[in-house]
Structure formats: C-alpha cells, structure tokens
A and B are shown apart, each in its own frame.
Chain A
C-alpha cells in the first residue's frame, strides 16, 4: 500500500507571496492532518480535515488555511508569506478509527 505523498518536496518563495501544498493520504484514510516543523518550535499541529470538513485547528494565524477534497486529498495554503514560515510542512493521515497518524515526507518551504 502506498504511503502518504506530498508535493512539491521543496519550494522557495519570497516574502508576501502565497503557496499551496498538496497531500495525498494512504488509500482508505479519510482523516488528514497538517503539521509545521521548525528547529525552534518543533512539530506543531496546524489543522485536521475529515470528510471535507475542518475538524480541528491549531494555534496558527488565519494566513494558514486548508481544504480537503472528496477523494480525501488535501491542500494547505499559506498567504502573505513571512520569513518565519520557513519550515518543513508535514501531512499525516489516519483511519476513521484509531489515533495512529502516518506521515508523508514533507514539503520543505524556504521563504526569502
């Protein structure tokens, strides 16, 4: 069974731009969560989507948003990029039951 895939793997943007990251969960997984990983703050929860609805949201500004499609694929968007948004963005998927989350390889975003 294929794992969680994320595209693109690397991105370089400049301040003020916006970016969209994509995640395809493991087949059969309907819950998709997004996390931000930085050296200073570690891994932090952004939001979770289940059946196209945002079910949970972390403590991030409104510039961070996401959505989920009917096939469970998810995208996250960051508008008006700031230098501090440089991070590894990780997507994780899980089954309806059980709390194990399986992570993708991440998208490394660099904001210049």
Chain B
C-alpha cells in the first residue's frame, strides 16, 4: 500500500465546473500538506500549502484537510481550460525539520472549453 493514494484520472470537466481532487494518506505523522500543479514537461508549481485540519482558500482554489480521516482535497471553482494539468498532492514525512515530500501519483485534469 502506498503512503499517499491519489486517483490518476484522467478527469474531464466542462469549463466553469467545480473540480474536486482528493488524496488519502496512511501515516498519521504527516503534518504538512501541499498541492502542486504540473504542466506537461514542466516542474511542479506550488498551489496551496496548509498544516492544519480545515479549509484554506486562495482565489479559485480551496484546500481542505481532514486529519482524522487522513483525507485531503483540492477544489477548483470556475475551472478554466488553462487549469488543464496534472495535480499532485504532497505531504511532508514528519515535522522534524527534514523536508522530504511524499507525493501522490497525480490526477490529470482536462477542462473542456
């Protein structure tokens, strides 16, 4: 069993739809949670970062963390064709100061105009 599970998709939605992307994790020691967006043949771009349960909003993006269920989500409102990319959840291994991230496999999103 992988430490971080993420549905690989592809997920296809019409422009303007609300997109929900999810990851589950197994290690309760994970404390810091990130979402990255990666366009084809580019490096990952940090979208959201949070370290507590609850919601964090930034523009059209909302990150949600439920530590009791070991479940994290990213919501994209009013999705645009430019949001078409692979979305990766990433979780820190622990809070000791070391910065190794464990990544999900990524969900490929296609927003149809």
A35 CB, nearest partner CB in chain B, Å: 8
* B99 and A99 form a contact (CB under 8 A): yes
B101 CB, nearest partner CB in chain A, Å: 6
Q: How far is the CA of A104 from the CA of B46 in the complex (A)?
A: 11
Query: Would you call B24 an interface residue if the criterion is a C-beta within 8 Å of the partner chain's C-beta atoms?
Result: no
Instruction: State the main secondary structure of chain B at its contact with A.
Output: loop
Interface size on A, residues (CB 8 A): 25
Taking beta carbons and an 8 Å cutoff, which residues of B are in contact with A? 32, 34, 36, 41-46, 49, 51, 88, 90, 92, 97-106
* B46 and A33 form a contact (CB under 8 A): no
Q: Contact flags (1/0) for A46-57 with B, using CB distance below 8 Å?
A: 001000000110
Taking beta carbons and an 8 Å cutoff, which residues of A are in contact with B? 4, 31, 33, 35, 42-45, 48, 55-56, 58, 90, 92, 94, 98-106, 108
